[in-house]
Each structure stands twice: as structure tokens, then as C-alpha cells.
Chains A and B, each alone.
Chain A
Amino acid sequence: EVQLVQSGPEVKKPGESLRISCKVSGYSFTLYWIAWVRQLPGKGPELMAKIDPSDSDTNYSPAFQGHVTVSSDKSTATAYLHWDSLEASDTAMYYCARLGNYGGNSNAFDIWGQGTMITVSS
């Protein structure tokens, strides 16, 4: 069974660092990009960044560039999302998702992790 399993919820203070994880199983980790998606309460999902686990090539959305870092580890089939300094506005649900290629430009998020809730509060 193809699965993306994320690390558990976190409660952090502003200025703290954090790394959350997304462990992949059921398919070859290096065959598909992994994306990180933020969802604020009552809002639509937002693509933050994506990484190609085969060579660690990354793309960042401008709104998140410089604020987060994505990485991956082929040996453990795990993708990571890292913050150096959290802000209260980072409070949200974060999902990892596999980016499937369905031909041409049809890249859809076909498998999702269960989500990691991050709460940043003093």
C-alpha cells in the first residue's frame, strides 16, 4: 500500500526551529516529487515547495521562499520540511503529498499524508 506518514503535531514558541517529516512507503521514493502544502483553517491548500528525491532538486513558491527549507533522505525514504524561526502566522495544518505525473502538464497530488498540525504561540 502506498503511504505517506507524517510526524505528529507540534506546539512551538515564536522564534523556535522545527523540522517535520513525511515517510514514504509502498513505491520507489525517487520516482516522484514530494510536495509540502499548507492549509490555513477554512482556506484552500497552498503549495509551499516541492522536492525531487532522486537529486534533491527543489522548487519553492515565492510566498515561502526563504522561510522554509525542504530536504529528503533516500536512505530512509523520508522528506522533511524545516523552519529556522517560526512565527505565529505559521500556525496551520501541513501536508506532504506525492506529485503524480499523468501526462503532459497534468501533475496532480495523488497521495497525501495525514497532515501535521503546527501551533506557534507564546
Chain B
Amino acid sequence: DIQMTQSPSSLSASVGDTVTITCRAGQTVSRSLHWYQQKPGKAPGLLIYAASTLKSGVPSRFSGSGSGTDFTLTISSLQPEDFATYYCQHSYSGHLFTFGPGTTVDLK
């Protein structure tokens, strides 16, 4: 399996802040990396696919970058509805699709 790590595991931020979450794969996953947002008691929701493409309807303050083993999710001008847990997930061919352990963004 390709192991996924995320950092930090949690962060505290204020409305209007810019936050960056890092995801690292144990080996290259090319650009087969996706980001999800999950709020308490709800299912995860896809935000970004293929490392940097926003799913339709996702606000443009979310952005993704990276390729190979290192990826970032950036949220610019954090809004109250963005306080949640964020997961990365790879879909590299021939390997079990795995998720990262998550990064929780909470209110400072």
C-alpha cells in the first residue's frame, strides 16, 4: 500500500486566515491525488481532484497543488463554514486507494 501522511494533524485559525495543509505519499502517485472535506456527523465531500482541479461548485478560495509525492491544499480567506477535517486520498493505478489521516481545522 502507498502510505499517506498529512501535516499538521490539526491547526487553529481565524476567519480570514490563509491555511495550508500538506499531504505526502510514500511513493509517487503522479497527480492522482484528491482532497475531501468532512464536517462532524456528515460524509466526506470531494473538493479537489487530480491534485488541482476544483469540483464544480467548490469555492475558488480552495486550491490544490503538487505532483509526485508532495501535495498541498490551500484555503484562502478562511470562512466559518470551512472549519472541518480535510483528507487527501490517492488513486494511483495498481495500488490500493488510501486516505490520509486527516487535518482538522478549528477556530482559534
Q: Which residues of A contact B (CB under 8 A)?
A: 43-47, 61-62, 95, 97, 100, 102-110, 112-115
Q: Which of B32-72 contact A (CB under 8 A)?
A: 32, 34, 36, 43-46, 49-50, 53, 55
Residues of B within 8 A of A100 (CB): 46, 49
Report 20 cross-chain contacts, Cβ distance below 8 Å, ordered by A residue.
Answer: A44-B101, A45-B36, A45-B99, A47-B97, A47-B98, A95-B44, A103-B50, A104-B32, A105-B30, A105-B93, A107-B32, A107-B97, A108-B46, A108-B89, A108-B91, A109-B46, A109-B89, A110-B55, A112-B43, A115-B43
Q: Which residue of B lies closest to A59 (CB)?
A: B96
Complex contacts, B44 vs chain A, CB 8 Å: 45, 95, 109, 112
Chain B residue contacts of A106, Cβ below 8 A? 31-32, 34, 49-50, 91
Kindly list chain A residues whose C-beta atoms are within 8 Å of the C-beta of B99: 44-47
A41 to chain B, nearest CB (A): 11
Chain B residue at smallest Cβ distance from A104: B32
